[in-house]
Amino acid sequence: MSRTITRFAPSPTGQLHLGHAFAAKVAHDLALGSDGSFLLRFEDIDHTRVRTEYYDAIEDDLRWLGLDWQPPALRQSARTHAYATALETLREIGVAYPCFCTRREIEEEVARMTSAPHGPEGALYPGTCRKLTADEIAARLQQGAQAAWRLDATRASSLAGALTFNDLQHGIHRVDATLLGDVILARRDIGTAYHLAVVVDDAFQQVTHVTRGEDLLPSTHVHRLLQAMLGYPEPLYLHHRLVTDENGVRLAKRHDALSLRSLREQGARPSELLSRLAILTPTGNVAAP
Protein backbone atom coordinates (compact mmCIF):
# COMPACT_ATOMS: atom_id res chain seq x y z
CA MET A 1 0.00 0.00 0.00
CA SER A 2 1.30 3.47 -0.85
CA ARG A 3 1.35 6.13 1.82
CA THR A 4 -1.74 8.34 2.00
CA ILE A 5 -1.16 11.77 0.46
CA THR A 6 -3.94 14.37 0.60
CA ARG A 7 -4.10 18.03 -0.27
CA PHE A 8 -6.07 21.14 0.58
CA ALA A 9 -6.37 23.36 -2.48
CA PRO A 10 -7.79 26.81 -1.74
CA SER A 11 -7.79 29.75 -4.13
CA PRO A 12 -6.14 32.85 -2.65
CA THR A 13 -9.09 35.02 -3.60
CA GLY A 14 -10.54 35.62 -0.14
CA GLN A 15 -10.35 34.73 3.54
CA LEU A 16 -10.83 31.12 4.59
CA HIS A 17 -14.16 30.41 6.24
CA LEU A 18 -15.48 27.52 8.29
CA GLY A 19 -16.17 25.52 5.14
CA HIS A 20 -12.51 25.70 4.18
CA ALA A 21 -11.49 24.77 7.70
CA PHE A 22 -13.69 21.68 7.45
CA ALA A 23 -12.23 20.74 4.04
CA ALA A 24 -8.69 21.22 5.31
CA LYS A 25 -9.41 19.19 8.43
CA VAL A 26 -10.89 16.30 6.45
CA ALA A 27 -7.77 16.16 4.25
CA HIS A 28 -5.41 16.64 7.18
CA ASP A 29 -6.99 13.99 9.38
CA LEU A 30 -7.22 11.43 6.59
CA ALA A 31 -3.49 11.75 5.88
CA LEU A 32 -2.29 12.04 9.44
CA GLY A 33 -4.54 9.21 10.62
CA SER A 34 -2.39 6.87 8.54
CA ASP A 35 0.97 8.55 8.94
CA GLY A 36 0.70 10.09 5.48
CA SER A 37 1.29 13.60 4.16
CA PHE A 38 -1.03 16.57 4.03
CA LEU A 39 -0.13 19.03 1.27
CA LEU A 40 -1.18 22.60 0.55
CA ARG A 41 -1.77 23.80 -2.98
CA PHE A 42 -2.76 27.31 -3.98
CA GLU A 43 -5.12 27.21 -6.94
CA ASP A 44 -4.08 30.60 -8.22
CA ILE A 45 -4.22 30.28 -12.00
CA ASP A 46 -6.85 32.98 -12.32
CA HIS A 47 -4.64 36.01 -11.74
CA THR A 48 -7.63 38.31 -12.28
CA ARG A 49 -9.10 37.13 -8.96
CA VAL A 50 -6.00 36.39 -6.86
CA ARG A 51 -4.94 38.86 -4.16
CA THR A 52 -1.41 38.43 -2.86
CA GLU A 53 -2.26 39.06 0.80
CA TYR A 54 -4.38 35.89 0.91
CA TYR A 55 -1.45 33.49 0.52
CA ASP A 56 -0.07 34.48 3.91
CA ALA A 57 -3.52 34.83 5.44
CA ILE A 58 -4.43 31.26 4.43
CA GLU A 59 -1.16 29.82 5.74
CA ASP A 60 -1.60 31.77 8.95
CA ASP A 61 -5.16 30.48 9.49
CA LEU A 62 -4.10 26.88 8.85
CA ARG A 63 -1.23 27.17 11.32
CA TRP A 64 -3.58 28.71 13.86
CA LEU A 65 -5.89 25.71 13.43
CA GLY A 66 -2.90 23.40 13.90
CA LEU A 67 -3.34 21.91 10.42
CA ASP A 68 0.32 21.77 9.41
CA TRP A 69 1.13 20.81 5.85
CA GLN A 70 4.27 19.30 4.42
CA PRO A 71 6.16 22.17 2.75
CA PRO A 72 6.55 23.64 0.26
CA ALA A 73 3.05 24.84 -0.63
CA LEU A 74 2.59 24.46 -4.37
CA ARG A 75 1.45 27.43 -6.45
CA GLN A 76 -0.34 26.57 -9.65
CA SER A 77 0.72 29.91 -11.12
CA ALA A 78 4.28 28.52 -11.20
CA ARG A 79 3.27 25.43 -13.15
CA THR A 80 1.96 26.78 -16.43
CA HIS A 81 4.58 24.81 -18.40
CA ALA A 82 3.23 21.54 -16.96
CA TYR A 83 -0.34 22.41 -18.00
CA ALA A 84 0.85 23.41 -21.48
CA THR A 85 2.65 20.08 -21.86
CA ALA A 86 -0.44 18.15 -20.77
CA LEU A 87 -2.61 20.14 -23.17
CA GLU A 88 -0.18 19.36 -25.97
CA THR A 89 -0.52 15.64 -25.19
CA LEU A 90 -4.30 15.90 -25.32
CA ARG A 91 -4.08 17.73 -28.64
CA GLU A 92 -1.79 15.05 -30.06
CA ILE A 93 -4.21 12.32 -28.99
CA GLY A 94 -6.97 14.28 -30.73
CA VAL A 95 -9.18 14.92 -27.71
CA ALA A 96 -8.75 18.71 -27.46
CA TYR A 97 -9.99 21.28 -29.94
CA PRO A 98 -9.77 25.06 -30.19
CA CYS A 99 -12.91 27.04 -29.43
CA PHE A 100 -13.44 30.60 -30.61
CA CYS A 101 -16.93 31.11 -29.16
CA THR A 102 -17.67 33.99 -26.86
CA ARG A 103 -19.99 33.44 -23.92
CA ARG A 104 -22.66 35.38 -25.74
CA GLU A 105 -22.37 33.27 -28.89
CA ILE A 106 -22.73 30.14 -26.79
CA GLU A 107 -25.87 31.48 -25.11
CA GLU A 108 -27.35 32.40 -28.47
CA GLU A 109 -26.55 29.00 -29.94
CA VAL A 110 -28.09 27.24 -26.93
CA ALA A 111 -31.23 29.40 -27.26
CA ARG A 112 -31.54 28.46 -30.96
CA MET A 113 -31.24 24.72 -30.34
CA THR A 114 -34.34 22.69 -29.67
CA SER A 115 -32.53 20.17 -27.49
CA ALA A 116 -29.32 21.74 -26.19
CA PRO A 117 -27.25 19.41 -23.97
CA HIS A 118 -27.69 20.07 -20.25
CA GLY A 119 -25.61 19.10 -17.22
CA PRO A 120 -26.13 19.36 -13.45
CA GLU A 121 -25.78 23.14 -13.56
CA GLY A 122 -27.57 24.05 -16.75
CA ALA A 123 -26.73 24.22 -20.43
CA LEU A 124 -23.50 22.66 -21.63
CA TYR A 125 -21.31 23.86 -24.47
CA PRO A 126 -23.25 22.95 -27.63
CA GLY A 127 -20.16 21.75 -29.50
CA THR A 128 -20.12 24.50 -32.14
CA CYS A 129 -16.32 24.59 -32.66
CA ARG A 130 -15.95 20.80 -32.51
CA LYS A 131 -17.23 20.80 -36.07
CA LEU A 132 -14.67 23.27 -37.46
CA THR A 133 -12.40 21.91 -40.19
CA ALA A 134 -8.62 22.32 -40.09
CA ASP A 135 -8.90 25.00 -42.80
CA GLU A 136 -11.53 26.94 -40.85
CA ILE A 137 -9.36 26.81 -37.74
CA ALA A 138 -6.30 27.98 -39.65
CA ALA A 139 -8.29 30.85 -41.18
CA ARG A 140 -9.55 32.04 -37.80
CA LEU A 141 -6.09 31.89 -36.28
CA GLN A 142 -4.71 33.80 -39.24
CA GLN A 143 -7.30 36.51 -38.62
CA GLY A 144 -5.80 36.83 -35.15
CA ALA A 145 -8.63 35.09 -33.26
CA GLN A 146 -7.65 33.75 -29.85
CA ALA A 147 -8.75 30.23 -29.00
CA ALA A 148 -9.64 28.50 -25.80
CA TRP A 149 -9.18 24.72 -25.76
CA ARG A 150 -11.96 22.29 -25.01
CA LEU A 151 -12.07 18.57 -24.28
CA ASP A 152 -13.78 16.44 -26.91
CA ALA A 153 -15.53 14.41 -24.24
CA THR A 154 -17.20 11.92 -26.57
CA ARG A 155 -14.00 11.11 -28.41
CA ALA A 156 -12.00 10.87 -25.17
CA SER A 157 -14.63 8.58 -23.76
CA SER A 158 -14.51 6.24 -26.72
CA LEU A 159 -10.73 6.08 -26.47
CA ALA A 160 -10.77 5.51 -22.71
CA GLY A 161 -13.53 2.87 -22.62
CA ALA A 162 -15.46 2.25 -19.40
CA LEU A 163 -14.07 4.06 -16.35
CA THR A 164 -15.08 4.26 -12.72
CA PHE A 165 -14.02 6.16 -9.62
CA ASN A 166 -14.25 5.12 -6.03
CA ASP A 167 -15.48 7.56 -3.42
CA LEU A 168 -14.94 6.57 0.20
CA GLN A 169 -18.30 8.07 1.12
CA HIS A 170 -20.39 7.68 -2.02
CA GLY A 171 -19.11 4.36 -3.37
CA ILE A 172 -18.14 3.38 -6.89
CA HIS A 173 -19.34 5.60 -9.73
CA ARG A 174 -19.37 4.76 -13.40
CA VAL A 175 -17.82 7.69 -15.27
CA ASP A 176 -20.29 9.59 -17.42
CA ALA A 177 -17.88 11.36 -19.76
CA THR A 178 -20.50 13.69 -21.18
CA LEU A 179 -21.94 14.81 -17.83
CA LEU A 180 -20.22 18.20 -18.08
CA GLY A 181 -19.81 18.13 -21.85
CA ASP A 182 -16.81 19.57 -23.65
CA VAL A 183 -15.32 21.45 -20.70
CA ILE A 184 -12.70 24.14 -21.09
CA LEU A 185 -9.16 22.79 -20.66
CA ALA A 186 -7.41 26.09 -21.31
CA ARG A 187 -8.93 29.53 -21.11
CA ARG A 188 -7.79 31.89 -23.82
CA ASP A 189 -6.61 34.44 -21.26
CA ILE A 190 -4.71 32.20 -18.84
CA GLY A 191 -3.76 29.17 -20.95
CA THR A 192 -5.17 26.58 -18.56
CA ALA A 193 -8.29 25.94 -16.52
CA TYR A 194 -9.42 24.22 -13.34
CA HIS A 195 -10.02 20.68 -14.67
CA LEU A 196 -6.67 20.39 -16.40
CA ALA A 197 -4.60 22.03 -13.66
CA VAL A 198 -6.12 19.96 -10.86
CA VAL A 199 -5.56 16.65 -12.67
CA VAL A 200 -1.97 17.52 -13.63
CA ASP A 201 -1.12 18.61 -10.09
CA ASP A 202 -2.81 15.75 -8.27
CA ALA A 203 -0.62 13.43 -10.33
CA PHE A 204 2.48 15.61 -9.86
CA GLN A 205 1.98 15.76 -6.09
CA GLN A 206 1.22 12.01 -6.03
CA VAL A 207 -2.04 12.61 -4.24
CA THR A 208 -3.58 9.25 -3.32
CA HIS A 209 -6.84 10.57 -1.82
CA VAL A 210 -8.56 13.59 -3.37
CA THR A 211 -10.83 15.12 -0.73
CA ARG A 212 -13.11 18.05 -1.56
CA GLY A 213 -16.68 19.27 -1.28
CA GLU A 214 -19.48 17.22 -2.79
CA ASP A 215 -20.32 20.11 -5.13
CA LEU A 216 -17.26 18.99 -7.13
CA LEU A 217 -18.38 15.38 -7.53
CA PRO A 218 -19.55 15.96 -11.14
CA SER A 219 -16.06 17.28 -11.99
CA THR A 220 -14.56 13.93 -11.02
CA HIS A 221 -16.16 12.37 -14.11
CA VAL A 222 -14.04 14.73 -16.21
CA HIS A 223 -10.96 14.23 -14.06
CA ARG A 224 -11.00 10.44 -14.43
CA LEU A 225 -11.25 10.83 -18.17
CA LEU A 226 -8.30 13.23 -18.24
CA GLN A 227 -6.28 10.92 -15.99
CA ALA A 228 -6.93 8.05 -18.40
CA MET A 229 -5.93 10.19 -21.42
CA LEU A 230 -2.74 11.41 -19.73
CA GLY A 231 -1.75 8.02 -18.30
CA TYR A 232 -1.98 9.20 -14.68
CA PRO A 233 -2.78 6.92 -11.73
CA GLU A 234 -6.30 6.85 -10.34
CA PRO A 235 -6.63 8.36 -6.86
CA LEU A 236 -9.35 7.50 -4.37
CA TYR A 237 -11.92 10.23 -3.72
CA LEU A 238 -13.79 11.56 -0.75
CA HIS A 239 -16.40 14.19 -1.56
CA HIS A 240 -17.52 15.54 1.78
CA ARG A 241 -20.60 17.50 2.70
CA LEU A 242 -20.51 21.27 2.55
CA VAL A 243 -20.70 23.52 5.57
CA THR A 244 -23.74 25.77 5.42
CA ASP A 245 -25.03 28.65 7.51
CA GLU A 246 -28.07 28.43 9.80
CA ASN A 247 -30.33 28.83 6.76
CA GLY A 248 -28.75 25.94 4.93
CA VAL A 249 -26.91 28.24 2.51
CA ARG A 250 -23.45 27.07 1.53
CA LEU A 251 -20.71 29.25 3.01
CA ALA A 252 -19.05 31.63 0.60
CA LYS A 253 -16.88 34.71 0.71
CA ARG A 254 -19.93 36.83 1.49
CA HIS A 255 -20.23 35.06 4.88
CA ASP A 256 -17.72 37.44 6.38
CA ALA A 257 -18.84 36.69 9.90
CA LEU A 258 -17.86 33.07 9.47
CA SER A 259 -14.41 33.78 8.06
CA LEU A 260 -11.71 32.33 10.27
CA ARG A 261 -10.24 35.82 10.51
CA SER A 262 -13.43 37.30 12.00
CA LEU A 263 -13.95 34.33 14.30
CA ARG A 264 -10.38 34.74 15.56
CA GLU A 265 -10.92 38.43 16.09
CA GLN A 266 -14.05 37.65 18.06
CA GLY A 267 -11.93 35.48 20.37
CA ALA A 268 -12.68 32.01 18.99
CA ARG A 269 -10.14 29.36 19.88
CA PRO A 270 -8.93 26.78 17.37
CA SER A 271 -9.94 23.85 19.55
CA GLU A 272 -13.51 25.21 19.82
CA LEU A 273 -13.80 25.69 16.08
CA LEU A 274 -12.42 22.27 15.29
CA SER A 275 -14.75 20.59 17.74
CA ARG A 276 -17.64 22.57 16.30
CA LEU A 277 -16.70 21.23 12.88
CA ALA A 278 -16.43 17.72 14.26
CA ILE A 279 -20.07 17.82 15.35
CA LEU A 280 -21.51 19.05 12.09
CA THR A 281 -24.98 17.77 11.40
CA PRO A 282 -25.22 15.29 8.52
CA THR A 283 -26.26 18.15 6.24
CA GLY A 284 -23.26 20.17 7.35
CA ASN A 285 -25.13 22.98 9.12
CA VAL A 286 -23.29 24.96 11.76
CA ALA A 287 -24.95 27.54 13.90
CA ALA A 288 -23.73 31.10 13.33
CA PRO A 289 -21.85 32.49 16.32
Sites of contact with ligand GLU (CB under 6 A): 9-11, 43, 198, 212, 216
- Minimum gap (Å) between residue 8 Cβ and ligand GLU: 8
Which of residues 23 and 90 has its CB atom nearest to ligand GLU in the complex?
Answer: 23
- Minimum gap (Å) between residue 188 Cβ and ligand GLU: 21
- Minimum gap (Å) between residue 125 Cβ and ligand GLU: 21
Please return the burial class of 256, using the count of CB atoms within 10 Å of its CB with bins 0-12, 13-18 and 19+: exposed
- Minimum gap (Å) between residue 239 Cβ and ligand GLU: 10
- Minimum gap (Å) between residue 75 Cβ and ligand GLU: 13
Which of residues 45 and 129 has its CB atom nearest to ligand GLU in the complex?
Answer: 45
Which of residues 41 and 150 has its CB atom nearest to ligand GLU in the complex?
Answer: 41
Which of residues 179 and 198 has its CB atom nearest to ligand GLU in the complex?
Answer: 198
* Residue with smallest beta-carbon separation from ligand GLU: 212
Which of residues 11 and 262 has its CB atom nearest to ligand GLU in the complex?
Answer: 11
